[in-house]
Structure 1
Amino acid sequence: MGNANDEAIQHIGKDQHEDLHEQSKVATDIEHSLGVIEAVKLYPMAVVWATLFAWSLVMVGYDSGIIYSFYALPAFVKKYGTYYGPEIGYEVSAKWQNVLGMGTPVGQFLGAFTASWPMERWGRKKVFAVSLFFTTAWIFLQMFANDIHTLAAGEFLAGIVYGTYVVLAPTYASEVCPLALRGILNAGMNLAYVIGQFVASGVGKGVATRTDQWAYRIPFAVQWTWIPILAIGLYFAPESPWWLVRKGRVEEAEVVLRRLAKESPKVDIRATLANIQATTLHEIEVEKDTTYLECFRGSNRARTEVAIMVQIWQVITGISLIGYAVYFFELAGLPVSASFDMGVGNTAIGFVATCCSWVFMSFFGRRTIFMYGVGGMAVALFIIGGLDCAPNYSNRPGFAWAQAALLDILTFVFQGTVGPVNFVIFAEIGATRLRSQTVALATSSGSIFQIVMTIAIPYMLNASAANWRGKTGFFFGGISVIAVVWCYFRLPETKGRTFEELDYMFEARVPPRKFKDYKIMNAEDGTEA
C-alpha cells in the first residue's frame, strides 16, 4: 500500500538526509517555543479548518441524542409503534427501541473500521465530501421512513458515515495544527459532540407539544442545516500536508503549510516541511507497511494499546450512566418534570466542563488529566452507590437529590477531563503513517464497548431486571479504579512532544511513567534517561 510513494520519499530523504535533519531540529525548537495564544495568532487558518472538520461531530452527537426523545412523542409512537390495547395504547416495543438505539453504534463501528483505507488512498477532503453526500441521503431515508424497519436501516447507514467523521476529524486536526494547539483543537471534538447533544435536547423539547408527523420529521430535517455550511467550507479547505508528503506531493504540501500560517519570524515553512519529510522518512525505514497489522508490530503495539484503551475507558467508566441521566433521576425518585430539567442542566454542565478542559490542558499534561479524572469519577460513583444503600432510602428524598447532584459532578469531571483528553491522546499517539488506522482501531473498539453498555445498562437500572439504581455506581466505580491503575503504569505523557520525538521515544522503549521528563537527546546517543 503506497509503496511507490514511499520509495520516492525515501529517495529524497537519502539525498537530503542531513539537511532535512538539521531543518527538522529548527522546526522542533520553534514548535516548543510557541504558547497557545501565540500559536492561535500565527496559525489562525489551521484553527478554522480544524474547527470545520470538528463540526461534523455535532451531527454525531445530535443523532445519538435525538432518537431517544422520540419515544415520548405520540406522533412517532403511533407511526412506528404497536397498539397494545386501551390500557397501554401505542408503544415502541423494547425490542425495536434496542434495535434503533443500536443502529448508530453498530454503524459507527463499521464506519470507523473501514475509514482509514479511503482516507489514505484518496485523502481527507475527498472522503469528507463523499461522507457529506451520503449523510444527506441517509437523513432523507430517516425522515421519510414508512416503517420502523426502514428507519432502523437509516440509523445504521447514518452510523457508518458518523463513524467516518469520528476518525476523520481528529486525524485532520492533528495534521494541520501546530504542537501548541494539538491538544486544544482535538479536545474541541468532544465539545462538538456535546453541542450536538445540547441541540438535540432543545429540538426535542421544542417539538414535544406537536402531535403531527412533523414532530419527528423536523428533528431529522434539522441535520440538513449543517451540511451546506460544511460543504462550502470544505471546498476551500486545504488537504492534510502530512498526507500530501506521504504521496510524494511535497510542493503541494508546502503551499498548504503557507495557507495555514501567517508570515512571521516564528514561522519557518521550509523547516516545518522538512520535519514532516524527516518524520515520514524515519517511519518508512522502521515500518513495513501501513496496514492494520503494522499497528501491532514493534513499538507501534504500545501506541495502539494506548489509543484503544483510553477510548475503552472513556466508554466504560461512567459516560454510559451519564447518557441515562434523565432515566436515572426518575429511578432515584425525582419528579418527572424535575428529571427532564436536570437532564438539560446536565448537558449544559458538560458544555461548560469541556470548555474548562482547554484551561486544564494549558497547565497539566494528558496523562495527569486523564488519570486524575478517572480517579475523581471513581470517588463520585462510589458515593452514588453508597447513598443508595442508606437505610429507608425510598422515604428520604434528600438522598435522591444528592445522587442527582453527584451525577452532575460526575458529568463535569468526565467532560472536563476524560472525555476531551481521550480525543487528544488517540489522535496524536499513533505514528503519522498509521494515524488514521490507529484512530480507526480506537474508535471501533470504543463502539464495541458502547454496544455492550447499551445492552447492559437497561438491565442494571430497570426495576423489572437487576434494579440496581444508584448501586450501578459501584460497578462503574470499580472499573474506574482499574483504569487508574492502568493509567499509572501504561499511559505516557505526550504533551509538548512532536510526532518525531514520539517516534524516537517509543522506539527507545521509554517507560510510560518517564515520558514527561525524558530528554530526547538520550535516545540519539543511546543512553538511558
Structure 2
Amino acid sequence: MDITSEAAEADRQSEVQNSADVKKDGGAIVYDTVTVDLKKGNLLEIDATKDITAAEHELGFWDAVKQYPQAVFWALFFCIAVIMAGFDAQIITSFYALPSFQSHYGSLYEGEYIITAPWQTALGMGNPIGQIVGALAAGWPLELFGRKKTLAACCVWSICFVFVQFFSTSLGMLCAGEILGGLAYGFYVVIGPVYASEVCPLALRGVLTASTNLAFVIGQFVAQGVAAGMSKRTDTLAYKLPFALQWVWPAILLAGLLFAPESPYWLVRQGRKSDAKASLTQLTSSKHRPDLDAVLLMIEQTDLLEQELEATTTYMDCFKGANLKRTEISVMVYLIQVIGGNPMIGYANFFFIQAGLNTNDAFNMGVGNTALGFVGTCLSWPLMSYIGRRSIYLTGMVFMTSFLFIIAFLDFGRSHSGVVWAQASLMDIWTFTYQSTVGPICFVIISEISATRLRGKTIAIATAVQAFASIIFTIAMPYMLGSDQANWRGKAGFLFGGISFVCFIWCWLRIPESKGRTFEELDILFERKIPSREFKKHNLLETSVDV
C-alpha cells in the first residue's frame, strides 16, 4: 500500500511503533499488511535493549548457572543426540582393526584378514553422506516443527536403522544401514548447538555450545572403550553389541523430550510470545529468576532487527550481504576440523597398528586418545570464560600445525621402537590440543556468528561442507595409510600440516572475536562491516553510527 503524504507516513510509522516496540530507523519493516520504509540510522545501534544488554555483559558464569539451571540441563540433554554421531563414526573405523570383524567381513592379505581399502571407504562414507543430506534437510523441519519434534522424529528414525546395522549379513547391508542411519546424525549435529545457543544467557553460551564437541568426544570415547573391550572376542557379538548400544541414546532422548522446553527464539518467530515466556520460565530458577520480560524483549528485538535486515530466511539468504561473511566463517571453522588433521584421529587405532604397535597397545592408545580429548574439552570451558574465542582458536592452530610436521618428520626414523611410541604419543598430544581449542571453539563460533533467524540453515551448510570433506578423506585415508596401498603412515602429517598452516593464515585474517557479545550486538557489528580483527575493540553501548 503506497503512502502518498507525509502525514500518512507519520501515522503509519506511529502505528508500527506503538503496536510493536521496535526501532523506527533503517530498512523496511512489514507489519501486518502495511509496509513502511524506514530511513537509515538507529537500526545499527543498541537502543531499546541497552539495559538488558548491559546486564548480560555483567552477568557472571556462576550467577548465570543459578539463574538458568534448567537451561544448562536441557542444553546438555540435547547433546546426547550428538553422542550418537560421535559413537557411530568412531566405532565403524575401530572395527577395521577388530579381529572378529576382520575375520567375518575381511579378505586375506599376506596371511592376515584385512578390510580392504574400497570397503573401508564405503563403510566410512555412510556417516558423512548421511550428515550431508540430513544437515541440509534439517533447516525446513526445524523452522516448521521446532527443535523438540524434529529431534523426536530423528530418534525414531535412528532406532529403526540400528536394526539394519545389527542384523546385517554383508558389508553391503551394513553400508546401507550406515548411510540411512547417518541421515539422523546430520540432524543431530545441527540441533545440538542451535538449541544450546537459544536457551542460555550470554555467560553460559560458550560452555554450553562447546558441549557439542564434548558430546562428540564422549561418543568417540565410549566407542573406543567398547571396541577395546570387544577386541579379544572372536564371535559376531564383538561388533553386534556395539551396534546395540545405539538403541540406548534415542530411548533416553524420547523419554526426556516429553518434558523439555522449546526454544524461546523459535517460539517468538512463530508469533507465540506467551509460549516463549513460559519456556523461559521453565528454563530459569524460581529463586534467582531474571526479568523475563526484559529477556523476552531482547529476543524480540533481535528477531525484529534481523527481519529488517533480511525479510526472508532461505538458504540463499545465508549468502547475501553480511550473512555471506557469517556463513564463510561458520563453514571454514567447521571445515578445518576435517582438513586440519582430524581424520588421523578417526583412524587412531588403524594408525597405531600401521605405526608398528600390536593390537592391544593400539586399542589402549586409542582409548587414551579419546580420554585426553574429553579432558581437553573440559579444559576449554574455563579457557573460553577468560580468553577470547579468536585467541584460543589461533593458539590451537599454531600448536596443531607444529605437531603434525613433527609426526611426519619422525616417520623417517620409524625403524626405532622409541620413534614409533613418540609418534603415537604426539598423536595423543595433538588430540588434547585440538579438543581443548579448535574442536570445542568451532561449535561456539558457529552458534554465535550465525544470525538467529538463519542459524539452523547456516549450521546445516557448515555441517554439509565438512561432511563432504569427510567423504573425500574417507576415500583417501585408507589408500594413504593402508599397508597394501601408499603406506604413508606418519608422513600423512606433511599433508595435513601444510593444509593446517594455510588455514591458520585464514583464521588470523577472518575470525572475529564474539566473546561477550549478545546476538543483537553481533548482528550490528557485521552490518557495520567491522573488520574481524577489530570486533573486540567496539563498545556498542557507547558508540553510535554517523548518520
TM-score of the pair, normalised by structure 1: 0.92
- The correspondence of residues 421-436 of structure 1 with structure 2, limited to 5 A, is 421-436=441-456
Distance 2:162 2:89 in 1: 14
Distance 2:482 2:101 in 1: 23
SS of equivalent to 1:524: coil
Kept in 1: contact 2:94–2:347 (CA 8 A): no
1:219 CA drift (Å): 1.2
Q: Which residue of 2 aligns with 1:261?
A: 284
Kept in 1: contact 2:100–2:231 (CA 8 A): no
Distance 2:384 2:537 in 1: 17
Distance 2:17 2:147 in 1: 24
1:45 CA drift (Å): 0.2
Percentage identity across paired residues of the two chains: 50
Alignment partner of 2:91 out of 60, 63, 66: 66
Kept in 1: contact 2:66–2:288 (CA 8 A): no
Find out whether 1:137 has 2:160 as its counterpart: yes
- The correspondence of residues 469-488 of structure 1 with structure 2, limited to 5 A, is 469-488=489-508
SS of equivalent to 2:341: helix
Find out whether 1:43 has 2:68 as its counterpart: yes
SS of equivalent to 1:17: coil
Distance 1:449 1:481 in 2: 18
Distance 1:11 1:80 in 2: 67
Q: Which residue of 1 aligns with 2:221?
A: 198
Change in 2 beyond 3 A, CA 1:15/1:66: closer
SS of equivalent to 1:525: coil
Alignment partner of 2:236 out of 193, 201, 213: 213
Kept in 1: contact 2:313–2:453 (CA 8 A): yes
1:228 CA drift (Å): 2.2
Q: Which residue of 1 aligns with 2:77?
A: 52
Distance 1:134 1:310 in 2: 29
Alignment partner of 2:467 out of 419, 439, 447: 447
Distance 2:357 2:319 in 1: 48
SS of equivalent to 2:224: helix
Q: 199-208 or 353-362: which moved more?
A: 199-208
Q: Which amino acid aligns with 2:95?
A: F
Find out whether 1:150 has 2:173 as its counterpart: yes
Q: Which residue of 2 aligns with 1:398?
A: 418
Deviations 1:347-386, CA, capped at 9 Å, x for gaps: 1111111111112111111111111101110111122222
Query: Higher helix proportion, which one?
Result: 1
1:11 CA drift (Å): 5.5
Distance 2:18 2:519 in 1: 17
SS of equivalent to 2:311: coil
Q: Which residue of 1 aligns with 2:381?
A: 358
TM-score of the pair, normalised by structure 2: 0.89
Deviations 1:264-317, CA, capped at 9 Å, x for gaps: 677110011000111111111110310010000001011000000001111111
Distance 2:487 2:225 in 1: 30
Alignment partner of 1:501 out of 515, 521, 531: 521
SS of equivalent to 1:515: helix
Distance 1:306 1:516 in 2: 16
Distance 1:340 1:213 in 2: 19
Alignment partner of 1:15 out of 16, 20, 45: 20
Change in 2 beyond 3 A, CA 1:65/1:394: closer
Kept in 1: contact 2:199–2:263 (CA 8 A): yes
SS of equivalent to 2:530: coil
1:518 CA drift (Å): 1.1
Find out whether 1:106 has 2:129 as its counterpart: yes
Q: Which amino acid aligns with 2:228?
A: K
Kept in 2: contact 1:32–1:496 (CA 8 A): yes
Q: Which amino acid aligns with 1:414?
A: Y
Distance 1:160 1:216 in 2: 22
- The correspondence of residues 173-184 of structure 1 with structure 2, limited to 5 A, is 173-184=196-207
Q: Which residue of 1 aligns with 2:4?
A: none
Find out whether 1:512 has 2:532 as its counterpart: yes
Deviations 1:109-128, CA, capped at 9 Å, x for gaps: 11011101110111111101
Q: Which residue of 1 aligns with 2:51?
A: 26
Q: Which amino acid aligns with 1:519?
A: N
1:13 CA drift (Å): 7.9
Q: Which amino acid aligns with 2:512?
A: P
Distance 2:78 2:114 in 1: 38
Q: Which residue of 1 aligns with 2:480?
A: 460
Q: Which amino acid aligns with 1:50?
A: A
Distance 1:314 1:156 in 2: 21
Q: Which residue of 1 aligns with 2:10?
A: none
Alignment partner of 2:397 out of 374, 394, 413: 374
Distance 1:94 1:466 in 2: 11
Q: Which residue of 1 aligns with 2:5?
A: none
Q: Which residue of 2 aligns with 1:7?
A: none
1:323 CA drift (Å): 1.8
RMSD: 2.2
Q: Which amino acid aligns with 1:70?
A: F
Distance 1:302 1:275 in 2: 24
1:257 CA drift (Å): 0.8
Kept in 1: contact 2:22–2:304 (CA 8 A): no
Distance 1:259 1:126 in 2: 18
1:324 CA drift (Å): 1.9
Deviations 1:314-352, CA, capped at 9 Å, x for gaps: 111111112222232233333443222222111111111
Q: Which amino acid aligns with 1:17?
A: V
Kept in 2: contact 1:242–1:253 (CA 8 A): yes
SS of equivalent to 1:495: coil
Q: Which residue of 2 aligns with 1:244?
A: 267
1:189 CA drift (Å): 0.8
Deviations 1:84-103, CA, capped at 9 Å, x for gaps: 59x74765443222211111
- The correspondence of residues 312-331 of structure 1 with structure 2, limited to 5 A, is 312-331=335-354
Kept in 2: contact 1:508–1:523 (CA 8 A): no
Q: 501-510 or 374-383: which moved more?
A: 374-383
Distance 1:338 1:268 in 2: 55
Q: 282-291 or 321-330: which moved more?
A: 321-330
1:442 CA drift (Å): 0.7
Change in 2 beyond 3 A, CA 1:523/1:293: farther
SS of equivalent to 1:322: helix
Change in 2 beyond 3 A, CA 1:70/1:416: same
1:215 CA drift (Å): 2.4
Q: Which amino acid aligns with 2:300?
A: Q
Distance 2:66 2:365 in 1: 39
Kept in 1: contact 2:120–2:478 (CA 8 A): no
Q: Which amino acid aligns with 1:449?
A: A
Deviations 1:382-414, CA, capped at 9 Å, x for gaps: 22222223xxx2442222222222211111110
Alignment partner of 2:457 out of 420, 437, 444: 437
Gaps of 5+ in 2: 1-14, 25-42
Distance 2:114 2:428 in 1: 30
1:22 CA drift (Å): 5.7
